[in-house]
Amino acid sequence: MSRTPDSPSAPTCRLQPALDPEFRPAVLANRAFRAAARAAGNPLRIRVALEQADGSVFHHETLGFPETDPRAAGNYDHVRRLVKFLLWARGGCRVCLDAPPALAERLKQYYVASEEGRFDADLMGNRVYEKPFEVVWTRDLPRERAATQPLGRHLDGCRIGFDLGGSDRKVAAVIDGEVVFSEETVWDPYHQKDPQYHLDGIMDSLKKAAAHMPKVEAIGGSAAGVYVNNQVKVASLFRGVPPDVFQARVKRLFFDIQKAWGGIPLEVVNDGEVTALAGSMALGRNAVLGIALGTSQAAGYVTPEGNITSWLNELAFAPVDEAANAPRDEWSKDIGCGVQYFSQQAVGRLLGPAGIDAPADLPLPEKLKVVQKLMADGDPRARRIYETIGTYLGYAVAHYAEFYPMENVLVLGRVTSGPGGEIILAWARAVLRVEFPELADRIQFHTPSEKDKRHGQAIAAASLPTIRRA
């Protein structure tokens, strides 16, 4: 679904992506909409509260056109896309909306009647928070309340750290903060129907790491998806597993692994959170948004105080493009979501516009290798792909900055490997300088050092559990 004709359209980018002339950044669309509503006089104040199952509540506010203004028809699309972003950035099973009742009712029906809305409602309600998903109209929003907590940074003892990605799994043996063994193994978890495949793969990696230490005192891991208290809530790694098997064997998979290792401390969190933690540890800085461009887009956030929040940070599903013909995510079925701009899927999507021929059935990791090889050979077609992704990133970071208090952006992942990664960062920085100079002065982009690329994520993952000592 796209914005209605009555909605103010986003102004044209000052730096248009080389291979995507139709790109309309969400940050410009939202700013233009709010500015037009403000200019109309007596703008409508629209308040949103997202409530999680534990009682955490997050607020956000925007502006719309007064109901007497003909352009008020555009309020719905503006709010719908804003709420979608908030759901995947913050998380929540209950959306409270202080807005005209008709707008709230229309949003409520969106989560019942549309395929895209039902996807979000099912994952937020049934899968993540295990409570019915609701949209509630109210003039009295629940009070904002949330807790933060430290994450990881424990480096004592003999630990194993692992990272489960869509195309490979990594493991490292870490003794007092030093990596003594690491290995990367190619696997194909997405379409496996039997979770024994995943369990065997994880156990194989753990055993290989354990062989290089005198003992194993703790295990820490990162994986794509939503994990709450070590329970698997939503994870693309297990997309092929039937729902009943998921409930029976996947949901508590890491409890089974912990039992197999004698009940030692074990912690598993979203890979984006570990990305941000690794960046904070390596940089010695906080207020970090970590963005990993891999099989999908992973993101995590470390607060200015060095803590994590209960926010989901699943920015792969959060919209960054408001073009009517923006690419559609094959899982959520919605358009303009981050995964299509910051992942191997983005590279595969841009092959055609770049004029690069590759077999349609070639796996995405192999398509990325084709582009990386062409880039290494100085092919300008490959360069334009990286320029396009970098331009996307600059506008997306400006968008994220409206929701995340941040000073540092750590960018990593397989898509950023090689010389193309520097092009991505150069264009992202250029977007901030040209379009958002106030952010260019505040936000710094970083990439991991070669050492951190090899071991940073594993060390951060290994640092998650606390070892209980007598």
Written as one string, the DSSP assignment of 72-91 is GGGHHHHHHHHHHHHHHHT-
| Residue corresponding to tokens 């790109």 | 23
What is the reported pLDDT for 356?
97
What is the reported pLDDT for 228?
86
What is the reported pLDDT for 96?
98
Q: Is the pLDDT of residue 3 over 50?
A: no
pLDDT in tens, 297-311: 989 999 999 998 889
**In which band, very low, low, confident or very high, does the pLDDT at 454 lie, cut at 50, 70 and 90?**
low
**In which band, very low, low, confident or very high, does the pLDDT at 425 lie, cut at 50, 70 and 90?**
very high
Give the helix, strand, coil percentages of the chain, each rounded to 5: 40, 20, 40
The per-residue pLDDT of the chain, averaged, comes to 93
What is the reported pLDDT for 129?
93
**In which band, very low, low, confident or very high, does the pLDDT at 470 lie, cut at 50, 70 and 90?**
low
What is the reported pLDDT for 1?
38
Which is nearest to 57 in space by CA: 175, 140, 177?
A: 140
Residue 147: strand, helix, or coil: coil
What is the reported pLDDT for 9?
55
Which is nearest to 395 in space by CA: 456, 443, 347?
A: 443
**In which band, very low, low, confident or very high, does the pLDDT at 150 lie, cut at 50, 70 and 90?**
confident
Distances from the Cα of 193 to the Cα of 54, 169, 202, 245, 344, angstroms = 32, 18, 16, 9, 23
In order of their start, the domains of the chain are 40-137 (no CATH), 151-470 (3.30.420.40)
Which is nearest to 14 in space by CA: 326, 426, 323, 433?
A: 433
What is the reported pLDDT for 42?
92
| Winning range, highest mean pLDDT, from 243-257, 273-287, 439-453 | 243-257
**In which band, very low, low, confident or very high, does the pLDDT at 8 lie, cut at 50, 70 and 90?**
low
**Which residues are CB-neighbours of 255 under 8 A, at least 6 positions away?**
230, 231
Is pLDDT larger for residue 123 or for residue 6?
Answer: 123
**In which band, very low, low, confident or very high, does the pLDDT at 387 lie, cut at 50, 70 and 90?**
very high
What is the reported pLDDT for 4?
40
pLDDT in tens, 63-113: 999 999 999 999 999 999 999 999 999 999 999 999 999 999 999 999 999
**pLDDT, average across residues 401-407:** 97
What is the reported pLDDT for 103?
97
Q: Is the pLDDT of residue 276 over 80?
A: yes
Residue 319: strand, helix, or coil: strand
What is the reported pLDDT for 6?
43
Is pLDDT larger for residue 321 or for residue 279?
Answer: 321
CB count, 10 Å around CB of 389? 28
What is the reported pLDDT for 286?
95
What is the reported pLDDT for 5?
37
Q: Is the pLDDT of residue 2 over 90?
A: no
Residues above pLDDT 70, as percent of the chain: 97
Q: Is the pLDDT of residue 253 over 50?
A: yes
Q: Is the pLDDT of residue 259 over 60?
A: yes
**pLDDT, average across residues 414-422:** 93
Residues above pLDDT 90, as percent of the chain: 81
Straight-line distance from the first to the last Cα atom of the chain, in angstroms, rounded to the nearest whole number? 58
